[in-house]
Structure 1
Amino acid sequence: MAPFIISTDRLILRKMDKDDAGKLLEIFSDPVAMAYYPSTKSEKETNGWIEWTLNNYENHGVGLWIAEDKETGEFLGQCGIVPQVVDEESRMEIGYLFARRVWGNGYATEAATACKKYGFEHLNLSEMISLVDVNNHPSAKVAERIGMTIKKKIFKWGKEILVYSVSK
């Protein structure tokens, strides 16, 4: 098993690598899972996503991590901390995206809670955000469950986005 960044009761969050492209395509090729993204992603775009993530690890010490079932090692999705620009300022976002087959099991909330704790305790961040499409109610519920509140609405990625925030 690859070394992990975070361990919870049910999950391991580990660094993403190039071998994860096939796993990520389960999510990225699913139009329902990707409904709030600009579009689904091809294999080439997925490899670009992995490169972006590896660059985040290198340049920021954080990024999206692969979420796996702690007992079985089964791929569930991704969750982590990524830099995002909001109002021309770089902020750290808790991002999460899980395979549709595991929706409704609380994995996103469990992983996001662990990322929040990691950001505050290990990275000494004073605040973290989540950027949520105004129509993505399940994602908004995850942000709310981990103690985030809406700070503002912005226009990003060609649409209205809610900026959720939580402070240490």
Structure 2
Amino acid sequence: MNHFRTDRLTAERLNESHLADLVALHLDPEVSRYLGGVRLAETTKAYLATNMAHWDRHGFGLWTLQTKDGAFAGRAGLRHILVDDIDEIEILYAFKREFWGRGFASETATALTDIGLSHLKLPSLIGIINVGNAASRRVLERSNYLLERSTNRKGEDVVIYRKRR
């Protein structure tokens, strides 16, 4: 599933041509504040390589998101992640600031949830959200994810939401 569409976005499988857009996204301190902090270009290049390898290994991963006029809006996807030594599938998304507060995250979360639970037949998906990120918490709650627990990951207080098939 290299592509998908929502009402307002087109998603394309992450590839090397997306590096410049990802670097710009990850260098924005407001965008990155809940994503572990600003990532320099070399870190984003490694991130891209890791996530392209995830696609090769698992048949799904991260997509870049474009508006109908072709503007880069952000990135989102599904990926394997270890949480307390358990292999989970995480839903994730990040948007350029100009797309915040316009429902794009909710639209994307709905599409990713459908892909993960209906198309890929995964048993469940999780979202790992920094406790201070109220907007992302609302996105998952609107998509009927249930708060499972609070924990600390990489020195940050987070909450884990889950939705089951």
Shorter-normalised TM range: over 0.9
Aligned mates of 1:96, 1:82 — CA distance in 2: 11
Aligned mates of 2:39, 2:84 — CA distance in 1: 27
Equivalent residue for 1:37, pick from 35, 38, 46 = 35
- SS where residue 33 of structure 1 aligns? helix
Unpaired segments ≥5 residues, structure 2: none
Aligned mates of 1:99, 1:26 — CA distance in 2: 9
AA of the residue aligned to 1:37: L
Provide, for residues 24-60 of structure 1, a one-character-per-residue CA deviation record: whole Å limited to 9, x for no partner.
1222111111111222011111111110110110112
Unpaired segments ≥5 residues, structure 1: none
Aligned mates of 1:158, 1:81 — CA distance in 2: 23
AA of the residue aligned to 1:132: I
Identity of aligned residues (%): 28
Q: Say whether residues 1:84 and 2:81 are aligned partners.
A: yes
CA RMSD of aligned residues (A): 1.3
Provide, for residues 106-164 of structure 1, a one-character-per-residue CA deviation record: whole Å limited to 9, x for no partner.
11111111000011121101211000011111111111111111101121121111010
- SS where residue 6 of structure 1 aligns? strand
- 1:1-168 mapped onto 2 (5 Å cutoff): 4-69=2-67, 71-168=68-165
Aligned length: 165
Q: Is contact 1:4-1:12 (8 Å) kept?
A: no
- SS where residue 31 of structure 2 aligns? coil
Aligned mates of 2:13, 2:19 — CA distance in 1: 13
For normalisation by structure 1, the TM-score amounts to 0.93
- SS where residue 140 of structure 1 aligns? helix
* Superposition deviation, residue 104 in structure 1: 0.9
- Identify which range, 19-28 or 122-131, moves more after superposition: 19-28
Q: Is contact 1:5-1:14 (8 Å) kept?
A: yes
Aligned mates of 2:7, 2:60 — CA distance in 1: 21
- SS where residue 121 of structure 1 aligns? helix
For normalisation by structure 2, the TM-score amounts to 0.95
Aligned mates of 2:58, 2:140 — CA distance in 1: 23
